[in-house]
Copies of this chain bind each other. A is one copy, B any other.
Amino acid sequence: MSNAFFSDLLTSIAERGRTLLRLENAQIDPQTRVSDLVGLCEKLLSGRGEASGTALAREVLDRYAQLDELGRQKFFYLLASDFGPDVARLGAALDVWSREQSDIAATDLHYASEPRRQELLRRLNRAPGGTAALVDMREHLLELRAANPEFKAIDRDLIHLLTSWFNRGFLVLRRINWATPANVLEKIIRYEAVHAIHDWDDLRRRIDPVDRRCYAFFHPAMLDEPLIFVEVALTAEIPGAIQPLLASEREIVPLSKARTAAFYSISNCQQGLNGISFGNFLIKQVVEELRRELPKLETFVTLSPVPGFMRWLGSKGKTLVGADDLPVIESLDDPTWPQDKQFAVRAKTLLEPLAVQYFLEERSSNGRALDSVARFHLGNGARLERIDWLGDTSHKGMLESAGLMVNYLYDLDEIEKNHEAYANQGEIVASSAVRKMLKSGTRGWRSTAPSVKAQT
């Protein structure tokens, strides 16, 4: 109840920024502008100007917002070169450290070596709308980082601060449905990254029926902006294909018959928060919410794409099959192949064991699963539950995954153990059904698979 007390003003945080008028000085030479901007940054950092509260911080952000890409590049360049640590203070701390390696000397070293831009960024964050502006700034930085390796130090500081500010303890889980404000829904449409939402009708089919759920994380300082969201279908059985789930005509599952929650799409919304992971927390909290609301749900599972499978098939995978099977693999480039039923039967026999091989035995150089989606869910402690033949017959699904989808199972009693097995020994936990497909493979390409762990 006390919550409601804050309902109107809470978002003042986010709103203050938006309504501010932006400065207009478009004719100024960009170079001058950047140096002016850096001058303001120094002023903000010096503490002079503190008395005027957050106005100076807002002015810096407003001026930054007027920069074009070239201007931003210059600005970041100066941020990298001129806002490192205070050298004199660092030297003194190093002196002390060289004499005594005490706890306090270590922390002295730590605080003395803090780049000055960290404090600058913290002060910018004080401005109305500051948090959103810094997320945007990081997005700009990422666009320029590849070509400007010296920006890495800035990015490190931005990641450090954003990770701290977007601490899971500050995030708010919010159900998204047909009563959600349109400005939020519009972003759900725009940010959906797995199975595109075509229009408002398509969106409504995913959030309005009783057997569909959507949840997002929000940050109190950016209340209009979903950070990440997940779409869930409530079903009787574990679903094996995405198209029936998304069909415009389909039978709605009454809540009384729902036993499974299938997470079929999870999308990040903010480029500027790239690398700051919320997905793990989101899935787990949604599982908890659903269990509380619908105690009859027994199974929490994903319906996931296999985005790297075709790429792998075309390189390593090809080398594993016999010469007579090679044409099969090559034929997969034509996404209409499932129409040839006979071919499809043969493809299935060939591809399913290869898929199991791809999941269970292949590893990246640092010992992780090859498939990016697999890495995410296995890292969360899920297990590979089932291979879904022709689970995604969309153009994208055929070209990336040869139509395959998979289910990852979230069993809250097992995820910790699974996670540790994966994180520490690189073991990939899979259902016995999946493992059997590996064992039953009869072709010569099977290698031994010591790292596969069964779970039933």
Q: Which residues of A contact B (CB under 8 A)?
A: 1-15, 47-54, 80-81, 84-85, 87, 90, 94, 97, 101, 103-104, 106-107, 109-111, 113-115, 122, 125-128, 130-131, 150, 152-153, 156-157, 160-161, 163-165, 167-175, 177-186, 200, 204, 218, 220-221, 223-224, 280-281, 284-285, 380-381, 415-416, 418-420, 423-424
A334 to B87, CA, bound (A): 56
Q: Are B10 and A5 in contact (CB under 8 A)?
A: no
- On chain B, the residues within 8 Å of A183 by CB distance are 2, 178-179
Question: Contact at A9–B174, with CB atoms within 8 Å?
Answer: yes
Q: Which residue of B lies closest to A101 (CB)?
A: B87
- Listed residue (A15, A51, A111, A423) with the most chain B CB atoms within 10 angstroms of its CB: A51
Task: Say whether A5 contacts B13, CB under 8 Å.
Answer: no
- Given A104-B152, A184-B5: A169 in contact with B13 (beta carbons within 8 A): yes
Residues of chain B with a CB closer than 8 A to A81's CB: 103
Query: Given the complex, which residues of B lie within 8 Å of A182, measured CB to CB?
Result: 178-182, 185, 200, 204
Number of this chain's copies in the assembly equals 4
**CB pair A153 B104 closer than 8 Å:** yes
* Smallest beta-carbon distance A41→chain B, Å: 17
- Contacts of A110 on B, CB cut-off 8 Å? 85, 110, 113-115
Chain B positions within 8 Å of A107 at CB level: 84-85, 113, 115, 153, 156-157
Shortest beta-carbon distance from A138 to chain B in Å? 16
Contact A174 B221 (CB under 8 A): no
* Interchain residue pairs with CB less than 8 A apart (25): A1-B175, A3-B9, A5-B174, A5-B180, A5-B223, A6-B11, A6-B172, A7-B10, A9-B175, A10-B220, A12-B172, A51-B416, A81-B103, A84-B107, A90-B109, A104-B152, A110-B110, A122-B163, A127-B169, A128-B169, A130-B169, A165-B167, A178-B181, A178-B183, A179-B224
